[in-house]
Amino acid sequence: MGNYRFILSGGGTGGHIYPAIAIADELKNRYPDAEFLFVGAKDRMEMEKVPQAGYKIEGLWISGIQRKLTLKNLMFPFKVISSLMKSRSILKRFKPNAVVGTGGFASGPLLRVASEKGLPCVLQEQNSYAGITNKLLAKKAKKICVAYDGMERFFPADKIVKTGNPIRGNLVNAEVDRHKVFDFFGLDSKQKTLLVLGGSLGARRINDLIEEKLDFLKTFGVQIIWQCGKLYFETYKRYGSENVKVYAFLNRMDFAYSAADIIISRAGAGSVSELCIVGKPVIFIPSPNVAEDHQTKNAQALVSKDAALIIQEKNLEEEFENTFSDVFLSQANQEKLGKNIRKLALPNATKHIVDEIAKLL
């Protein structure tokens, strides 16, 4: 039977949306006649990104709870009731064979109703510290696909499968011509290259750091590919030069990773999974502004295996120059970090997640 029907739900951030799209793509690959529907939160980025990827999406009136007392919080019970009712009507109309949740508040109501109806539900948890939505849904889910060891702290052990996180297809087995890569960026293939990543929107503190340390970095003769994010591009584009290339967004991540000798990055789950496959030395600067400080926990999972370095934002002033120098000036350190991070790569994550869904069908 190839004409299965799948609902995928998750959103709020790219970290929940892109894994859902990758899973849908692999399901479509395996079941070409299948039908797909995404369910997300109205007004969030999934309402734009999912149709761009070629899938239909319906939005629920739902949002997360703010940490302080706000009018939005007073609306929360009404949003939940509205979203549960709409989820019931979506499920009744679409009649899915399986439902996949990739986390974020958007997936809560739909997965809750689907599991009550006895539909096979699969959760995908990207982070080393489980999100609140997936923790609440875990009891009724059939399978929970995770990317880190030790997730029994959050989920029933008999439901956990360690698959890794879905990543962009063009990064797996990315064989790229180095000359073509350096021509693309207008850089010198004989010089060391630093790649700076702050996520698609950018990271203000990382941008401030690079701005502040440009003269320090130039003393090493390093050239820089700097993704400052679309929110900050107007501010930082003036630093573009022969050796510093400033981008709002990098469309060719495979080229950027190929050019890099050292990478400075946030520690979102998707970035961490990609960087394991890339296998280059990484200095993580986790965002302190995320739920349950999960970026720090994601980075620490690698640091504990001697596979990456970490600097907390509050320690950048004291630690950045020494940490960067220690890696940049030591080929042995670079090789050790690259080798250890590569050992943690799970390049077939998407296929393994879809294998678990297939078993339930």
**Cα-Cα-Cα-Cα dihedral sign, residues 55, 59, 10, 134:** negative
State yes or no: 163 annotated in a binding site.
no
- The alpha carbon of residue 245 and the mean position of all alpha carbons in its chain are separated, in whole angstroms, by 24
Please report which helix (H) or strand (E) contains residue 161, including its range: strand 160-162
Is residue 189 annotated as involved in ligand binding? no
> Is 127 annotated for ligand binding?
yes
Going 86 to 92 to 94 to 95, the CA torsion angle's sign is positive
Q: Which class for 1: exposed (0-12), middle (13-18), buried (19 or more C-beta within 10 A)? A: exposed
Helix, strand, coil percent content, the chain, rounded in steps of 5: 50, 15, 35
Q: How far apart are CA 109 and CA 133, in angstroms?
A: 9
Is residue 251 a known part of a binding site?
no
**Eight-state DSSP code of residue 160:** E
Full strand arrangement of the beta sheet holding 282-284 = 244-247, 223-227, 193-197, 262-265, 282-284, 309-310
Q: Using CA atoms, how far apart are residues 93 and 77, in angstroms rounded to an integer?
A: 25
Query: Is 83 annotated for ligand binding?
Result: no
Nearest of 124, 127, 156 to residue 140 by alpha carbon? 156
15 is in an annotated binding site: yes
Residue 193 annotated as binding site:
no
Q: Which of 315, 297, 198, 299 is nearest to 249 (CA)?
A: 198
Q: What is the largest CA-CA distance in the chain?
A: 64
Q: Which residues are annotated as a binding site?
A: 13-15, 127, 168, 200, 295
Q: Which residues are annotated as a binding site for UDP-N-acetyl-alpha-D-glucosamine?
A: 13-15, 127, 168, 200, 295
